[in-house]
Chain A
């Protein structure tokens, strides 16, 4: 991690995390705003770092696991920032930033993949991959939000109101933020998958239509659409919907790890 953009990104994300934590602890509006500012700065430098990496390797930045992880971290931060602006809520930043940092640091500190970069597949393929990773990032965000919801709900029901509960977003808002995040994920994965099929069609012969990744992606899509539908119904509203969201993300992680690494023919890193 020698490039100035990487160091600047790391610093910006670390400062953002520190400020979000302080905001959660003290409730001072100015620290929350500064947290957002540093997150935005980190996003810009992270984007430039991805661009440099992409240009250096003459291919998309997700040609290896580490590039893919870095892009995931960037999209997670970007989705969170979008949600923060849309819902005007900063308390979640302290919970999201550690994930962003873990993915960023793991991607850039670990040794490079020795595999040869794949051939460039054009814009449609790039969009397919980017939207798929965006969907995973959005699902990860909804997972974090659901975990916060369950923690807060548990404390409220048990009347165990520590310092933190007064600082967290209201349960209703957490539910809405989680649904917004899932909506971003569902739309992204639907479009991304469709573009994937277009890409496969164009690159006939290079990829198979019969890949376990397609099955699990379809399953993920169905599970999240189900969540979206059930989260507003009588039986599932509230904590149950959050538990379903967490279960769904476990399936996403399986798709991202086991299926990609051991079962899929053409989806190694996304």
Chain B
């Protein structure tokens, strides 16, 4: 009942290799089927995101023995040369494999520390594998534990609470002023990459209405179409600034696009309703004195970058707490695993003793012809009863006493002591 993990991620593999070794749902299903049908793994789960591809499994034999086979399988499955793949792959076994998954689920192993998406991806990968019947009792327990770790880390630490990109920080700040974005309007000035990122964040937050203004109307229409907004003509500030609560500007211009007079006039037209200006242009798109206007909040790229930097530090300071939660759950899982293995060991011992008893009776009672069949059956019954009594108490103790299970560190040694390799459960 060992666990093996073979995979690669953003730290060990280039984006080209990651792209080649990623799995679609269909590929994940096929890989899981093949791994089981070839007898490499008994339980399988494929976790594939843009930054990692990992195969978790329970091998029929020792996990260390199955790892090379698993690496070869990945190489063959994705048609990647083994020497190219081997430098990118990592292998983890048992405790390390459990810890790795729990850290992944907590967002501790992500490129963006504490990112929220990974927990959903782990949940989805587990759901898919479970539906396909690829998981069994060990991986079920392991992934349920991983989901619990992810939830606890997000609710008990600040690892995932602070925005880590300029776009997310800007939208989060807007929420400090206006509350939920679902009742708000936004105007995006400029249609470059950074605008797209902000629009994506605003859409994720359910912005009610979106307008796009750009020098190139075609590009504005493209962005508006992509995110479901409407286009406003370049320079039509009077109409454009009347309704939005959030204005995001990121145009390339030598001089500020939004001058004080324009915003002042707009504020009067909009009855001084609060206006949040996110100036992401370089050089700045919003005249500095606009920040002095009543009910106008201006944040530049530098301001937002500072917030992101502070948030990064705050997230990093939460790592020890998150690691603590991970370790607690690793301990829980290993304790569960040991209990299952110990109970299995007792069962194997019972079978072994019954076999010994049968051989013993055959050898001894054949020479005692004076005993009737009824007496022989009675002797067999008494011996069975004695064996059951011998095993009953330890079995019950193993099931009920966590502390005892913790003390028995090496189940393998016990197995070797009482059972030959042939009879391992």
Contacts and interface: CB of A to CB of B under 8 A. Distances in A.
A33 to B, nearest CB: 13
Nearest to A169: B179
Nearest to B271: A234
Interface in A127-153: 152
Interface stretch (B40-48, B77-85, B170-178, B210-218): B170-178
A233 B271 contact: yes
Contact of B273 (A161, A169, A235, A237): A237
A72 B303 CA distance: 44
Contacts of B155: 28-29
B268 A234 contact: yes
A198 interface: no
Interface stretch (B54-62, B138-146, B293-301, B341-349): B293-301
Nearest to B295: A238
A240 B158 CA distance: 34
A144 to B, nearest CB: 19
A159 interface: yes
Interface in B275-331: 291, 294-295, 297, 299, 303, 306-307, 310
B255 interface: no
Contacts of A26: 158
Contact of B156 (A28, A157, A168, A238): A28
A152 B176 contact: yes
Given A28-B155, A28-B156, A157-B297, A165 B176 contact: yes
Contact of A172 (B161, B179, B306, B310): B179
A124 interface: no
B176 A237 contact: no
B272 interface: yes
B161 A156 contact: no
Interface in B28-85: none
Contact of A237 (B156, B175, B177, B271): B271
Interface in A24-48: 26-29
A238 B272 contact: yes
Given A28-B156, A234-B271, A156 B176 contact: yes
A172 B271 contact: no
Contact of B274 (A165, A168, A172): A172
Interface string A103-134: 00000000000000000000000000000000
Interface size grouping (class) on chain B: 20 to 34
B271 A27 contact: no
A166 interface: yes
A156 B273 contact: no
Given A28-B155, A237-B271, A238-B272, A170 B297 contact: no
A159 B158 CA distance: 21
B176 A166 contact: yes
Interface string B15-33: 0000000000000000000
Interface string A170-183: 11110000000000
A90 B331 CA distance: 36
Contacts of B291: 157
A161 B162 CA distance: 12
Interface string A205-238: 0000000000000000000000000000111011
A156 B272 contact: no
Given A28-B156, A161-B307, A238-B295, A156 B177 contact: yes
B178 A172 contact: yes
Nearest to A233: B271
A156 B276 CA distance: 11
Contact of B161 (A27, A157, A235, A237): A27
Contacts of A234: 268, 271-272
B215 to A, nearest CB: 29
Contacts of B172: 166
A64 B273 CA distance: 46
Interface string B171-214: 01101111100000000000000000000000000000000000
A25 to B, nearest CB: 10
B325 to A, nearest CB: 14
B272 A237 contact: yes
A13 B161 CA distance: 29
A238 B299 CA distance: 19
Nearest to A155: B176
B173 A170 contact: no
A235 B175 CA distance: 23
A-B complex: 9 closest residue pairs judged by Cβ atoms: A170-B179, A234-B271, A238-B295, A234-B272, A237-B272, A171-B177, A172-B179, A172-B178, A173-B179
11 contacts: A27-B158, A29-B155, A152-B176, A166-B161, A170-B176, A170-B178, A171-B176, A171-B177, A237-B272, A238-B272, A240-B294
Interface of A: 26-29, 152, 156-157, 159, 161, 165-166, 168-173, 233-235, 237-240
